Amino acid sequence: MPRRSSWLFLLIFGLSIALLPILLDNNETGINLSYTTRASNLFCRATNLFRPVVNQNISTQDIRIGTNASMAVKTPVYFLSHGGPNIMEDKDHPAYAKLQGIGKEITQQKPKGIVVFSAHWQGEPNVIEVNTAETMPLIYDFYGFPDHYYQYQYPHTGSPELAEKVLNLLKGAGIKAEGVRRGLDHGVWASFMCAFDPKENPLGVPIVQVSLFNSDDGDKHYELGRAVRSLREEGIQIIVSGMAVHNLRDLWKAMSLSQPMPYAVSFDEALKEAVEQRVDGRQKAMAELLKRPDARKAHPSFEHLLPIHIGAGAAGDDLGKQLWTKPEGSMSWALYRFGEPVVA
């Protein structure tokens, strides 16, 4: 049976999300489990009292986007299952060590910058939003955790230059996009705290976060990834952050079981099969995932699944590979990589 300390945090997290629409102002409508843009903007305004921690070792001038587009080597694409913010402190959980391993693999490749998509930021149904800010406070988009979780800082810097490059690529692909100023949500900074520990494995390059569509269309997100895939040839690391299986509604039920929920296993296996398909059949296989009978059990809302569609689109002709998985309760922690790492 999963450790009670982990489940306690997850239970609090799940209950807090269920109460989210009640806790927010009644004028803020349309809130769901995905933390839409309105909710994130509320959190961003609420956290403006927190002074952002800027990594003084990062210089946006170090990025020269487009100066080496003919590079033969492409950065791989990574999908991270990020869990709740408690993963930062649950160092005995196997996911913590796996995230650390991926982080070290990435820093050894010496990327020029990071473009990251998180389940916790959805733009509009037909509009993608790109964070153009160089410095903004973190977004603490969770309730019910001990006070010190809301004091965490993650040193980081944005890059207006890289953000502009992303915007141009999206618009060039016929995708409506706009720049906004926004902090990083916990789908980014909590997992990055594990993968890129500021003391043990500092990232040291700018981070630009990009939204999902506020849409359940898997193909639309696949095309979103395809639109930015050329960044990989310029030394930019693309990371997509969600969960392979994500059902907070069943946390209480899952706590009473000694085995994962059946859908956590079946959908996890189906996701692996789809991601590891030959490239010519991958997009169709991944779109079919959303139609499976267990899809809405594994993901009552699809925002935690859609990032891997973006990752697969950004992969181009590179194959996907499951690096590790752990179905646990009503979740799965699977991690994926598209393409192979090349140490700089």
Q: Tell whether 245 is covered by a domain.
A: yes
As given in the structure block, the two tokens for residue 27 are 């004028």
As given in the structure block, the two tokens for residue 270 are 């189906």
- What whole-number distance in Å separates Cα of residue 242 and Cα of residue 164? 24
Q: Tell whether 89 is covered by a domain.
A: yes
Give the model's confidence band at 38: pLDDT under 50 very low, under 70 low, under 90 confident, else very high.
very low
- What whole-number distance in Å separates Cα of residue 274 and Cα of residue 297? 18
For 163, 250, 283, 322, 334, the CA distances from 271, given in Å and listed in that order, are 30, 20, 12, 9, 9
DSSP letter at 212?
Answer: E
* Pairing state between β 77-81 and 335-338: antiparallel
- Would you put residue 174 in left (φ > 0), alpha (ψ -120 to 50) or beta? left
Q: Could you tell me the residue range of the domain that residue 319 belongs to?
A: 4-55+63-338
Q: Tell whether 23 is covered by a domain.
A: yes
Gyration radius of the chain's alpha carbons: 18
**pLDDT exceeds cutoff 80 at 53:** no
Q: Tell whether 343 is covered by a domain.
A: no
Q: Give residue 23's pLDDT.
A: 36
Give the model's confidence band at 22: pLDDT under 50 very low, under 70 low, under 90 confident, else very high.
very low
As given in the structure block, the two tokens for residue 124 are 């509009």
Closest CA to 221 of 134, 145, 330, 304: 304
Give the model's confidence band at 60: pLDDT under 50 very low, under 70 low, under 90 confident, else very high.
very low
- Tell how far CA 46 is from the center of its chain: 22
DSSP letter at 124?
Answer: B
Q: Which amino acid is at 114?
A: I
- What whole-number distance in Å separates Cα of residue 43 and Cα of residue 232? 31
- What whole-number distance in Å separates Cα of residue 60 and Cα of residue 96? 29
Q: Tell whether 144 is covered by a domain.
A: yes
Closest CA to 309 of 261, 339, 280, 271: 271
Say whether 115 sits in a helix, a strand or coil: strand
* Sign of torsion over alpha carbons 282, 288, 290, 292: negative
**pLDDT exceeds cutoff 60 at 3:** no
- Encode pLDDT of 78-93 as tens digits: 999 999 999 999 999 9
- Encode pLDDT of 248-299 as tens digits: 999 989 989 999 999 999 999 999 999 999 999 999 999 999 999 999 999 9
Check: CB of residue 36 under 8 Å from CB of residue 214.
yes
**pLDDT exceeds cutoff 50 at 59:** no
Q: Give residue 73's pLDDT.
A: 86
Q: Give residue 190's pLDDT.
A: 98
| Domain count across the chain | 1
Q: Give the CATH number for residue 89.
A: 3.40.830.10
Q: Tell whether 14 is covered by a domain.
A: yes
Q: Tell whether 143 is covered by a domain.
A: yes
- What whole-number distance in Å separates Cα of residue 87 and Cα of residue 15? 17
Check: CB of residue 190 under 8 Å from CB of residue 240.
no
| Helix axes 279-289 and 262-275, enclosed angle (nearest 10) | 150
If one compares 133 and 16, the residue with the highest pLDDT of the two is: 133
**pLDDT exceeds cutoff 70 at 169:** yes
What is the secondary structure of 228-272 as a DSSP string? TGGGGGGTEEEEEEE-SEE-GGGHHHHHT-SS--HHHHHHHHHHH
**pLDDT exceeds cutoff 90 at 307:** yes
Q: Tell whether 344 is covered by a domain.
A: no
